[in-house]
């Protein structure tokens, strides 16, 4: 939990970091006097949560609301699932190298240009900015968390 520091001294060890700044200022003024100065010392987790909340608000304001982002993600997964399914089915039936190459055409048409756009700097993915290792850690943690909830049912 966050610490409330008033006039240079920790006054509350288990302070609610989500309390709005104006409410903290009022609380401090009422309890310690109008001239008191204060700060809130966040834990690492609280600071990370606040940072994520700011980024999520900016995404919603500048890019799209959560439902639209989820819709785009869903569309992407469906496109990839369909194209990958077609590729696997064609590839498994291929007898010659020419048939194997032909099996890639639909997938290449659907997503082949992505790599070029990334290479040319026309497109970048959030996972690249976040770092693939951090993204994989998040994927694993969420998958295990959902799985644990499902297993507990």
Same domain for 109 and 141, yes or no, is no
Query: How does pLDDT run across 50-80, given as a tens digit for each residue?
Result: 898 999 999 999 999 999 999 999 999 999 9
**58 located within any domain:** no
Q: Is the pLDDT of residue 13 over 80?
A: no
Alpha helices in the chain (DSSP H): 21-32, 44-62, 66-93, 97-103, 105-119, 126-130, 132-152
pLDDT at 132: 94
Q: Is the pLDDT of residue 117 over 90?
A: yes
Question: Average of pLDDT values for 127-146?
Answer: 94
State which residues form the domain around 151: 129-153
Sign of the alpha-carbon torsion through 51, 53, 58, 63:
positive
pLDDT at 17: 83
Q: How does DSSP classify residue 125?
A: -
Count, residues in the chain? 153
Same domain for 24 and 72, yes or no, is no
pLDDT at 62: 92
Q: Is the pLDDT of residue 129 over 90?
A: yes
Strand partners, 15: 2
**103 located within any domain:** yes
**11 located within any domain:** yes
Those residues whose C-beta lies under 8 Å from the C-beta of residue 47, and which sit 6 or more positions away, are none
Same domain for 80 and 111, yes or no, is yes
pLDDT at 133: 95
The total number of structural domains in the chain stands at 3
Q: Distance of alpha carbon 147 from its chain centroid, rounded?
A: 19
Query: How does pLDDT run across 22-42, given as a tens digit for each residue?
Result: 999 999 999 999 999 999 999
Q: Is the pLDDT of residue 3 over 80?
A: yes
Same domain for 28 and 46, yes or no, is yes
Q: Is the pLDDT of residue 12 over 80?
A: no
Q: What's the Rg (C-alpha) of the chain?
A: 25
Phi, psi values for residue 141, rounded to 5° = -65, -45
Q: Is the pLDDT of residue 1 over 90?
A: no
């Amino acid at each position: 939990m966050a610490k409330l520091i008033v006039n240079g001294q920790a006054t509350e060890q288990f302070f609610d970091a989500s309390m709005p700044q104006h409410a903290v200022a009022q609380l401090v003024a009422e309890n310690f006097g109008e001239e008191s100065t204060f700060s809130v010392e966040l834990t690492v987790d609280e600071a990370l949560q606040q940072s994520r909340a700011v980024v999520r608000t900016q995404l919603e304001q500048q890019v799209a609301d959560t439902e639209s982002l989820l819709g785009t993600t869903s569309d992407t997964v469906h496109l990839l699932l369909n194209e990958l399914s077609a590729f696997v089915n064609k590839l498994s039936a291929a007898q010659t190298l020419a048939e194997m190459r032909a099996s890639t055409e639909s997938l290449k048409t659907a997503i082949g240009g992505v790599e070029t756009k990334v290479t040319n700097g026309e497109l970048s993915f959030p996972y690249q900015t976040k770092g693939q290792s951090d993204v994989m850690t998040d994927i694993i943690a969420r998958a295990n968390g959902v799985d644990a909830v499902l297993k507990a049912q």
